[in-house]
Amino acid sequence: MADARRAREAGDAGEAGQAGEAGQAGEVGEAQSATAYDDPRVGPRQRAAAGFGGIHHAMDFAIRDRALLPLITLNKPGGVDCPGCAWPDPKPGEEGIVEFCENGAKAVAEETTARRCTPEFFAEHSIAELREFTDYELGRAGRLTTPMRLAPGDTHYRPISYEQAYDEIAAHLGAIKPEEAVFYTSGRTSNEAAFMYQLLARRLGTNNLPDCSNMCHESSGAALGTTIGIGKGTVTLEDIHRAGLIIIVGQNPGTNHPRMLAALEKQKAAGGRIVALNPLPEAGLKNFKNPQTIRGMLRGGTDLADEYMRIRVNGDLAFFQALSRELIRRDALDTDFLATYCTGTEAAIEHLLALSDDEVRAATGLRPEAISRVADLVQEADGVIVCWAMGLTQHKNSVPTIREIVNFLLLTGNMGKPGAGACPVRGHSNVQGDRTVGIWEKPPEHFLAALDREFGFAAPRKHGYDTVEAIRAMRDGAVRFFMAMGGNFVRATPDTAVTEAAMARVDLTVHVSTKLNGSHLHPGATSIILPTLGRTDEDRQAGRIQSVSVEDSMGMVHASTGRRTAHRGLHSEPRIVAEIGHRAFGEAYWRAMADDYRVVRRHIEATVPGFERYEERIAAPGGFALPNGPRERRFETSDGKAHLSVNELEVLQCPPGHLILQTVRSHDQYNTTIYGLDDRYRGISGGRRVVFVNPADCAELGVADGDIVDLISVAPDGERRAPSFRVVAYDTARQCAAAYFPETNVLVPLDSTAETSNTPTSKSIIIRLEPAAGQAGVASGEEYAASGAEYAASGAEQAAATAARA
Ligand SMILES: Nc1nc2c(c(=O)[nH]1)N[C@H]1C(S)=C(S)[C@@H](COP(=O)(O)OP(=O)(O)OC[C@H]3O[C@@H](n4cnc5c(=O)[nH]c(N)nc54)[C@H](O)[C@@H]3O)O[C@H]1N2
Ligand SMILES: Nc1nc2c(c(=O)[nH]1)N[C@H]1C(S)=C(S)[C@@H](COP(=O)(O)OP(=O)(O)OC[C@H]3O[C@@H](n4cnc5c(=O)[nH]c(N)nc54)[C@H](O)[C@@H]3O)O[C@H]1N2
Ligand SMILES: [Mo]
């Protein structure tokens, strides 16, 4: 079976292929089930991020998928905003010759591929056959070209016209109750499309607008909104460059935000320090060879992290409590700042002083000296920033953990001054903008009132479903219409088996997509796929080329203009929303917006604070900044002060014989889109079904590097199994295993979510390992063991260096 897989990939590797090729080569009868073992190989790890290797890999992907031209204008004024991550662009005039990274290149290549997923492809493969394709193989089918419809009980999707699809969707919306409709959004959608889409839902009469943010930075928004009065980060790119100390927690920028490494390099060159807290030794945090500079390419690169703390999964709340307590004991608080701007200080201090050392040790796995060293760095630094991502947001106590980071920043006065503040690093390139323009199941009253005024209907006030609530409602038969503006709902959400079955209960599912994905294969009774333009594609409406706008992770809004000619006849996202809205509700504003996106921007200006003179200001190179109170020490909370909070420490227990599994991204994927089967920073190639386990845990559990095991998660409502993963002995923290998502989403119980934010706990799943049925062990891990030794040696070097400094 693995041979059939490799044959299919070999046929794949050569040229940008013909339409449908991905399916033809592999005799689908023999295709592997998407849950079968894929024979990953384990070799030496690449220790530095980017550099020649990165450029070389970027070019490979770009040439394979004809993406060279769009890359040159990526993230430049007048060009395309990278559809990869939300890291901000440098100021005009300060950019590199090219402003993209290896993974931005892959994101663009994925979109600009010459492959086409045509009606012939769908005629050739039934739904049942396509379910046997891996996510990687589905992506290789290429860009969708034609609206497709799956009739109830049919085995194949069949082509229809956009007009037929719009008529059917509008008729369906007219026949159901508003609360029976769910409108999901992924974070790549532009401000313009997102604003129109939320209007469609609210015009129908529902706030059922779940989005990918519910699975992503919702915990950050929840923690920051209540403490500092804005659910966003408080720093700018200039702050990153000048921070005295940056603490990077639960984030792997080398893979997921590679352009951040260039900003960190600049900060280090100016004398800044970096501390990383992570259970895994991530390559980019250790060493970076900047591909934009000759020095970066030729020299040994920059060692980024001064201190690398191998913290246990979910140890961060305890870490920040212990750090704050240490600073309280040293009398190192900013008492003026606390007195002027904050409430809750005394209660927080009292609670922190009662912290138990044993609990800190159990939760973090770190020695007390490690925490003192970080306290030294905090005291020495002029300005401290804390950056974080999914390693913090996807746990049961994520919101308290992030509130504890806010406590630390407030206690030390590191908020609202240069080089200091909170920096949740966003994922999708416009996930923050989508929320700003109204994609939210719990919209604020002022926004709804503004919509009422602007459009002359009464927007619904009742809160809608978030992602997990939407799945529960579908499961319970309460949803009759599901629409997705981008994304891959069924694959990205937890409890895959539950979600697939839930989706099947919906009458009509509609996916607006650029590429085929697993969600299209787990449809409702009737399913419609509407192909659409991507960010890099030229978007011409009513004879004019249209620009869209997006907001980056630091609240800068700027324009993006696609320039490539995509497959002819594709409708844009705004056009799709407008045509459905026009047919369902008939107002003139729908088509007026789709004909000219400036009209959408005028409506946003009239309804969302901070967008005054929108059109004029996005025309400026680099765009404009949205208002951000904490940057000026303005805290728009109930009492106008920043709030310290009291957060109970609960140590995540790992029962004997079990592990805590965190699910991460490999270097060759974008969420559920799999670009390739390698993860070279972690030494993995040719397959994805690996589980990283600490060698001491392997010994204790009686498994060896190379064994093939099933992962079984345990939850109060039963066990879940993900079959066939190769054990990789790896220097992750004790009891803290790691494996890739989305293969492991099947293990995350739907009801296991974070307090307050309801985010699935994808980073703390309790599992045990069982030998996989009928699987022989694979090739020896000798080469791997050698690279592990090298890593251990480098760890020792670092420890020595640290000791020398101390
Ligand atoms: N190339 C590429 N870029 C991307 C994406 C992609 O898939 N591919 N996805 C985009 C999206 S939507 C997002 S949200 C971001 C995600 O960006 P990241 O958050 O960097 O993504 P993950 O791979 O989930 O990595 C989580 C990191 O947290 C660590 N970690 C896990 N649990 C804990 C913990 O309890 N404590 C601490 N301290 N660390 C922990 C893991 O070891 C890992 O290094 O990236 C965005 N950019
Ligand atoms: N276990 C586990 N689960 C997770 C996570 C985790 O760390 N662990 N991370 C979570 C996070 S942070 C996130 S953000 C979610 C991501 O959840 P989603 O945003 O739903 O998933 P993506 O994989 O980013 O969506 C990919 C699909 O988007 C479509 N697409 C791409 N570009 C465009 C476009 O321009 N327009 C349209 N209309 N469609 C487009 C393509 O069809 C592609 O197949 O997953 C979450 N799930
Ligand atoms: Mo995300």
* Tens digits of residue pLDDT in 133-173: 998 999 999 999 999 999 999 999 999 999 999 999 999 99
| Phi, psi of 446, rounded to the nearest 5 degrees | -60, -30
Residue 434 Cα to ligand 2 middle (Å):
14
Lowest mean pLDDT among 11-25, 267-281, 372-386, 489-503: 11-25
- What pLDDT, on the 0 to 100 scale, is given for residue 28? 21
Buried/exposed code over 616-650 (b: 16+ C-beta within 10 A; e: otherwise):
ebbeeebbbebebbbbebbbebeeebbbbbebebe
Residue 7 has pLDDT above 60, yes or no: no
Q: Nearest residue CA, atom 11 of ligand 1?
A: 427
- What pLDDT, on the 0 to 100 scale, is given for residue 503? 98
Cβ 530 vs Cβ 150: under 8 Å: no
Q: Nearest residue CA, atom 22 of ligand 1?
A: 664
Share of the chain above pLDDT 90, in %: 77
Which ligand has the nearest atom to the CA of 566? 2
The answer to whether the bond into 742 is cis (omega within 30° of 0) is: yes
Residue 353 has pLDDT above 80, yes or no: yes
Which ligand has the nearest atom to the CA of 212? 2
In a domain, 97, yes or no: yes
- The minimum-distance atom of ligand 1 relative to the CA of 665 is 23
Give me the half-sphere count of Cα atoms (radius 13 Å) on the Cβ side of residue 476.
Answer: 8
Q: Which tokens hold the place of 742?
A: 């989305």
Same domain, 493 and 584: yes
Q: Nearest residue CA, atom 21 of ligand 2?
A: 487
Q: Nearest residue CA, atom 37 of ligand 2?
A: 486
Residue 425 Cα to ligand 1 middle (Å):
10
- What pLDDT, on the 0 to 100 scale, is given for residue 108? 86
In a domain, 445, yes or no: yes
Residue 494 Cα to ligand 2 middle (Å):
13
Q: Nearest residue CA, atom 31 of ligand 1?
A: 391
- The minimum-distance atom of ligand 2 relative to the CA of 484 is 38
Residue 152 Cα to ligand 3 middle (Å):
33
Residue 252 Cα to ligand 1 middle (Å):
5
Which ligand has the nearest atom to the CA of 251? 1
Final residue in a domain of this structure, among 627, 649, 678: 627
Residue 231 Cα to ligand 3 middle (Å):
15
Same domain, 353 and 464: no
Same domain, 378 and 443: no
How many structural domains are present in the chain? 4
Longest dimension (CA), the chain: 73
Residue 27 has pLDDT above 80, yes or no: no
Helix (H, G, I), strand (E, B) or coil at 774: coil
Residue 632 Cα to ligand 1 middle (Å):
30
Q: Nearest residue CA, atom 33 of ligand 1?
A: 391
In a domain, 635, yes or no: no
Which ligand has the nearest atom to the CA of 54? 1
Note the Cα 429 to chain centre separation in Å.
9
Which ligand has the nearest atom to the CA of 537? 2
Same domain, 436 and 417: no
Q: How far apart are CA 118 and CA 241, in angstroms?
A: 47
Partners of residue 116 on adjacent β-strands: 143
Average pLDDT over residues 374-401: 98
Residue 136 Cα to ligand 2 middle (Å):
14
Question: Among 183, 513, 662, 664, which is best to mutate for testing ligand 2, by the most ligand atoms less than 8 A from CB?
Answer: 513
What CATH number does residue 357 fall under? 3.40.228.10
Q: How far apart are CA 802 and CA 275, in angstroms?
A: 12
Q: Nearest residue CA, atom 26 of ligand 2?
A: 487
Scanning the structure block, which residue is given the tokens 């479903």? 465
The 3-class secondary structure across 604-616, one letter per residue, is HHHHCCCCCCHHH
- The minimum-distance atom of ligand 2 relative to the CA of 665 is 7
Share of the chain above pLDDT 70, in %: 87
DSSP secondary structure string, 326-360? HHHHTT---HHHHHHHEESHHHHHHHHHT--HHHH
Which ligand has the nearest atom to the CA of 676? 1
User: In terms of C-beta density within 10 A (0-12 exposed, 13-18 middle, 19 or more buried), how is residue 95 classed?
Assistant: middle
Q: Is the dihedral of CA 203, 205, 207, 212 positive or negative?
A: negative
Q: Which tokens hold the place of 334?
A: 């900013």
Same domain, 209 and 223: no
Q: Nearest residue CA, atom 24 of ligand 1?
A: 664
Residue 561: C-alpha distances to residues 75, 103, 189, 650 (Å): 10, 20, 14, 48
Same domain, 187 and 237: no
Final residue in a domain of this structure, among 607, 627, 647: 627
- What pLDDT, on the 0 to 100 scale, is given for residue 29? 24
- What pLDDT, on the 0 to 100 scale, is given for residue 97? 54
Helix spans in 456-514 (H): 467-475, 489-492, 496-504
Same domain, 32 and 144: no
Which ligand has the nearest atom to the CA of 665? 1
Residue 621 has pLDDT above 90, yes or no: no
Residue 191 Cα to ligand 1 middle (Å):
24
Confidence band of 50 (pLDDT split at 50, 70, 90)? low
Question: Among 275, 402, 662, which is best to mutate for testing ligand 1, by the most ligand atoms less than 8 A from CB?
Answer: 662
Cβ 762 vs Cβ 661: under 8 Å: no
Average pLDDT over residues 724-730: 98
User: Which domain range does residue 481 map to?
Assistant: 134-213+430-627
Contacts of 276 (CB under 8 A, 6+ apart): 247, 248, 249, 282, 285, 304, 305, 307, 308, 309
Same domain, 436 and 564: yes
Same domain, 209 and 234: no
- The minimum-distance atom of ligand 1 relative to the CA of 251 is 20
Which ligand has the nearest atom to the CA of 318? 1
Question: Among 61, 277, 278, which is best to mutate for testing ligand 1, by the most ligand atoms less than 8 A from CB?
Answer: 278
Q: How far apart are CA 109 and CA 70, in angstroms?
A: 9
Q: Kindly report the average pLDDT of the chain as a whole number.
A: 89
pLDDT in tens, 416-457: 999 999 999 999 999 999 999 999 999 999 999 999 999 999
Same domain, 577 and 438: yes
Same domain, 379 and 524: no
Same domain, 608 and 675: no
Confidence band of 300 (pLDDT split at 50, 70, 90)? low
pLDDT in tens, 458-471: 999 999 999 999 99
In a domain, 648, yes or no: no
In a domain, 632, yes or no: no
What CATH number does residue 705 fall under? 2.40.40.20
Q: How far apart are CA 646 and CA 356, in angstroms?
A: 15
**Residue ranges lining ligand 1, Cβ < 6 Å:** 84-85, 103, 216, 249-252, 255-257, 277-280, 282, 311, 313-314, 316, 389-391, 427-428, 662, 664-665, 669-671, 763
Partners of residue 513 on adjacent β-strands: 531
- The minimum-distance atom of ligand 2 relative to the CA of 671 is 23
Q: Nearest residue CA, atom 18 of ligand 1?
A: 251
What CATH number does residue 499 fall under? 3.40.50.740
In a domain, 644, yes or no: no
Higher pLDDT pick, 481 / 787: 481
Cβ 116 vs Cβ 23: under 8 Å: no
Residue 790 has pLDDT above 90, yes or no: no
Residue 188 Cα to ligand 2 middle (Å):
9
Confidence band of 592 (pLDDT split at 50, 70, 90)? very high
Lowest mean pLDDT among 70-74, 187-191, 664-668: 70-74
The 10 Å Cβ neighbour count of residue 693 is 30
Confidence band of 293 (pLDDT split at 50, 70, 90)? low
Q: Nearest residue CA, atom 4 of ligand 2?
A: 492
Residue 708 Cα to ligand 3 middle (Å):
30
Residue 380 Cα to ligand 3 middle (Å):
33
In a domain, 118, yes or no: no
Q: How far apart are CA 537 and CA 560, in angstroms?
A: 10
Residue 393 Cα to ligand 1 middle (Å):
10
Q: Which helix (H) or strand (E) holds 729?
A: strand 718-729
Residue 547 Cα to ligand 2 middle (Å):
23
β-bridge pairing 736-740 and 116-117: unpaired
- What pLDDT, on the 0 to 100 scale, is given for residue 517? 97
Which ligand has the nearest atom to the CA of 467? 2
Residue 454 Cα to ligand 2 middle (Å):
32
Q: How far apart are CA 732 and CA 468, in angstroms?
A: 30
Cβ 525 vs Cβ 166: under 8 Å: no
Residue 216 Cα to ligand 3 middle (Å):
4
Q: Which tokens hold the place of 173?
A: 């919306």
Residue 113 Cα to ligand 2 middle (Å):
18
- What pLDDT, on the 0 to 100 scale, is given for residue 178? 98
- What pLDDT, on the 0 to 100 scale, is given for residue 82? 84
Question: Among 251, 396, 488, which is best to mutate for testing ligand 1, by the most ligand atoms less than 8 A from CB?
Answer: 251
Question: Among 115, 188, 428, 765, which is best to mutate for testing ligand 2, by the most ligand atoms less than 8 A from CB?
Answer: 188
Lowest mean pLDDT among 404-413, 605-614, 778-787: 778-787
Give me the half-sphere count of Cα atoms (radius 13 Å) on the Cβ side of residue 329.
Answer: 14
Lowest mean pLDDT among 184-198, 282-296, 757-771: 282-296
**Residue ranges lining ligand 2, Cβ < 6 Å:** 186-188, 212, 215-216, 390, 427-428, 485-489, 492, 512-515, 517, 532, 534-535, 573, 663, 671-673, 741, 744-745, 748, 762
Contacts of 583 (CB under 8 A, 6+ apart): 166, 167, 169, 170
User: What stretches of 152-272 adopt beta strand conformation (E)?
Assistant: 158-159, 181-185, 245-249
- What pLDDT, on the 0 to 100 scale, is given for residue 289? 76
In a domain, 147, yes or no: yes
Final residue in a domain of this structure, among 400, 424, 448: 424
Average pLDDT over residues 689-693: 98
